[in-house]
């Protein structure tokens, strides 16, 4: 009985579908208006299917495009550093060609983040480059939108960096490219917030001014844009604390560049002599 019921329902469904197709075909051939209506519907359906297929292909090509874009950004960053170095050395009669990845006093190594912490007071980043790739402890980690962290430990293929979103880290930052310099640290709660401290109260600045790395650190190159100034307050009647809106979104990080000051060891040795 059950098998016969199934067969009965299948036959009824088939007959219903055939009748529907026949009715639609008759309606389509009944006049010009119906024919146009059906043609538009068919075209719309085809366009929807084609667009969906295009979206799927586009989605699966995103990673390849992002990888290529990250490499292009890395090469562009090196070229900019090379041009800045050439401008600084324009009075020299000769200039040696730097090895690949080296511009001025810094070596640049592109890397991909394999793990990142963003939800604690001591956040960290693990990148997919290590000592085999030339990464060393104490190197900086940057993007085109900011200073991201400092390498704390290095393995052969991976490195551990202390994130800027860490209470134990601050960056020497400058108001504009020629303004006052002070330490900048994460504000402790916002994904894109920081505080610039120890700016003398007589210094003039405006809401929305850009803040850059100062270059006074042996870790980061100068003039990396970090963010813009927000509200400020005077502390102890002597210095400003300025809220900074960071350019970089730490929640969307994937590609970074490891940057190492080639003169860091000499600088550190001179400091230790004092």
pLDDT digits (tens, 9 = 90+) for 56-111: 555 555 566 666 666 666 566 666 665 555 544 444 444 444 445 776 788 999 99
pLDDT confidence of residue 252? 84
pLDDT for position 138 = 93
| Range in 11-20, 23-32, 124-133, 254-263 the model is least confident about | 23-32
Q: Give the residue, 196 or 48, on which the prediction is more confident.
A: 196
Residue 241 has pLDDT above 90, yes or no: yes
Mean pLDDT of the chain, nearest integer? 79
Are the beta carbons of 16 and 22 closer than 8 angstroms?
Answer: no
Q: What confidence score (pLDDT) does residue 69 get? A: 64
User: Higher-confidence residue: 227 or 85?
Assistant: 227
Among 40-44, 129-133, 172-176, 260-264, the least confident range: 40-44
Buried b (16+ CB within 10 A) or exposed e, 168-207: ebbbbbbbeeebbbbbbbbeeeeebbbbbbebeeeeebee
Average pLDDT over residues 123-140: 94
Closest by CA position to 219, among listed 172, 183, 158, 177: 172
What pLDDT, in 10s, does the model give residues 209-225? Answer: 999 999 888 899 999 99
* 165, 148 contact by CB (below 8 A): no
pLDDT bracket for residue 175 (50, 70, 90): very high
Share of the chain above pLDDT 90, in %: 45
Compute the average pLDDT of residues 116-142.
93
């Amino acid at each position: 009985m059950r098998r016969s019921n199934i067969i009965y329902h299948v036959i009824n469904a088939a007959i219903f579908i055939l009748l529907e197709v026949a009715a639609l075909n008759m309606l389509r051939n009944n006049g010009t208006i119906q024919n146009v209506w059906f043609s538009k519907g068919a075209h719309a359906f085809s366009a929807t299917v084609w667009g969906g297929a295009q979206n799927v292909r586009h989605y699966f090509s995103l990673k390849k495009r992002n990888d290529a874009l990250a490499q292009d950004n890395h090469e562009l960053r090196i070229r900019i550093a090379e041009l800045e170095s050439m401008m600084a050395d324009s009075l020299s009669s000769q200039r040696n060609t730097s090895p690949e990845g080296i511009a001025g006093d810094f070596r640049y190594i592109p890397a991909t983040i394999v793990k990142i912490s963003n939800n604690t007071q001591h956040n960290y980043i693990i990148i997919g480059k290590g000592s085999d790739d030339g990464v060393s402890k104490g190197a900086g980690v940057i993007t085109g939108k900011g200073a991201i962290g400092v390498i704390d430990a290095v393995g052969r293929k991976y490195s551990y960096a202390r994130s800027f979103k860490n209470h134990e880290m601050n960056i020497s930052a400058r108001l504009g490219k020629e303004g006052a310099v002070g330490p900048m640290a994460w504000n402790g709660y916002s994904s894109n917030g920081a505080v610039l401290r120890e700016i003398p109260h007589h210094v003039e600045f405006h809401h929305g001014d850009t803040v850059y790395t100062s270059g006074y650190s042996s870790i980061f190159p100068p003039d990396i844009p970090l963010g813009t100034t927000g509200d400020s307050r005077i502390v102890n009647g002597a210095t400003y604390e300025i809220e900074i809106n960071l350019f970089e979104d730490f929640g969307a990080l994937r590609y970074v560049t490891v940057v190492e000051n080639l003169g860091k060891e000499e600088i550190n040795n001179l400091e230790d002599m004092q």
